[in-house]
Amino acid sequence: MSASSRIGKGYVVGSTFLSAAMILVIILFLLMNSWDAIRQTGLQLFTSEWNPAQDKFGILPMICGSVAITAIAIAIALPLGIATAIFTSEVLPAGLRLYVKSLLELLAGIPSIIYGLIGVVFLSVWVEQAFDLQSGRTVFTGGLLLAVMVLPTIVTLSDDALHHVPQKYREAAKSLGFYNYEVIRNAVLPIAKPDIIGAALLGLGRVLGETMAVMLVVGSIDRIPEPFYNVFVPGQTLTSKLGREIAETAFGSLHFSAMIFMGLILLVFVLLVTTISLTYFYNPEDRLYE
């Protein structure tokens, strides 16, 4: 093995271990700073009552809000994003595709606070009028806004995944008599599936971690909806709760420890979803062109 190969291998291995070490350090930091809440409150952290004045820190409403908003956003953005990527990659002419893709990448770079302001001024008003609600600041509004935010990311990354599939696979499928939609379904999509999953995970990570935009449109009610599947009521997410209250807590207090515990739950949730996705949906053998 040449010296350059050894250096490259060492760089990759070192970067891998460094990334893993950073994740462990973050987990340990969150665990240490949330230990007081875990020790003193225990399983009451997973109840539905949040009242810092009485040392009650039930985070279940925030967990339910995060799950509901994430489900709404991904359910809207993922199929629409993949369909748009198929259109831009497989249908649009190459020259026009470049302009459309550049526009989508520009949309992906817009700050989240801008999306949040648009959500307050337009989206929440539309939801209020369309569904005859007292307030448009609901869980559904938050999910819809996040779907709009992550859509450009999913589209542009899925477009890259489809566009990088070698042309020979399309030609081989066409030589077998497949129609264009059959070529896309049976030849292009299976090969690009790992990268499309990566795009979905990146979108999921942004949905779970978004704070400002959600905080502006979701409301601020710390309770589980009745019934629990009602998304047209104000709610709260882990990130919006952290954004609203973390600056108001005293460092080292039980309230502060409970807030850090919410950050730990959020990180664990992201790691769990990523691990499950990579375990059950990611198959390196699908990347036939590598």
Residue linked to tokens 């700050």: 111
Structure tokens that stand for 142 in this block: 């938050």
Q: Indicate the residue type of 185.
A: R
Tell me the per-residue pLDDT of 68-119, one tens digit each, with 9 for 90 and over.
Answer: 999 999 999 999 999 999 998 888 887 788 888 888 888 888 888 899 999 9
How far apart are the C-alpha atoms of 46 and 59, rounded to whole Å?
6
Q: Of the candidates 182, 138, 191, 139, which has an alpha carbon nearest to the alpha carbon of residue 163?
A: 191
User: Comparing 153 with 2, which gets the higher pLDDT?
Assistant: 153
Residues forming a β-bridge with 57: 50
Q: What is the pLDDT of residues 139-149, one digit of tens each?
A: 999 999 999 99
Please list the helix, strand and coil fractions of the chain in percent, rounded to the nearest 5, in that order. 75, 0, 20
Instruction: Give the predicted TM-score (pTM) of the model.
Output: 0.86
**What single letter denotes the amino acid at residue 120?**
V
- The whole-angstrom separation of Cα 263 and Cα 275 is 18
The number of helix segments (H) and strand segments (E) in the chain equals 13, 2
pLDDT at 290: 46
DSSP designation for 56: E
Residue-by-residue DSSP string for 118-178: HIIIIIHHHHHHHTT-S-S-SHHHHHHHHHHHHHHHHHHHHHHHHHTS-HHHHHHHHHTT-
Closest CA to 57 of 242, 214, 269, 218: 242
Instruction: State the burial class of residue 111 (Cβ atoms within 10 Å of its Cβ: 0-12, 13-18, 19+).
Output: exposed
Residue 288: the pLDDT is 46
- In this predicted model, what pLDDT tens digit does every residue of 233-248 receive, in sequence order? 999 999 999 988 888 8
Q: Which long-range contacts (CB under 8 A, 24 or more apart) does 102-105 make?
A: 104/152, 104/155, 104/156, 104/159, 105/152, 105/156
Longest Cα–Cα distance of the chain, Å, equals 72
Tell me the β-bridge partners of 50. Answer: 57
How far apart are alpha carbons 235 and 218 in whole angstroms? 6
Residue 209 has pLDDT above 90, yes or no: no
pLDDT band at 282 (very low <50, low <70, confident <90, very high): low
What burial letters (b/e) apply to 207-240, b meaning 16+ CB within 10 Å?
Answer: bbebbbbbbbbbbebbbbbeeeeebbbbbbbbbb
> Domain 34-286 has what CATH class?
mainly alpha
* CB-side neighbour CA atoms (13 Å) of 17: 5
Q: What is the mean pLDDT of the chain?
A: 86
Crossing angle of the two packed helices 60-86 and 189-209, in degrees rounded to 10: 140
In the DSSP assignment, the letter for residue 221 is -
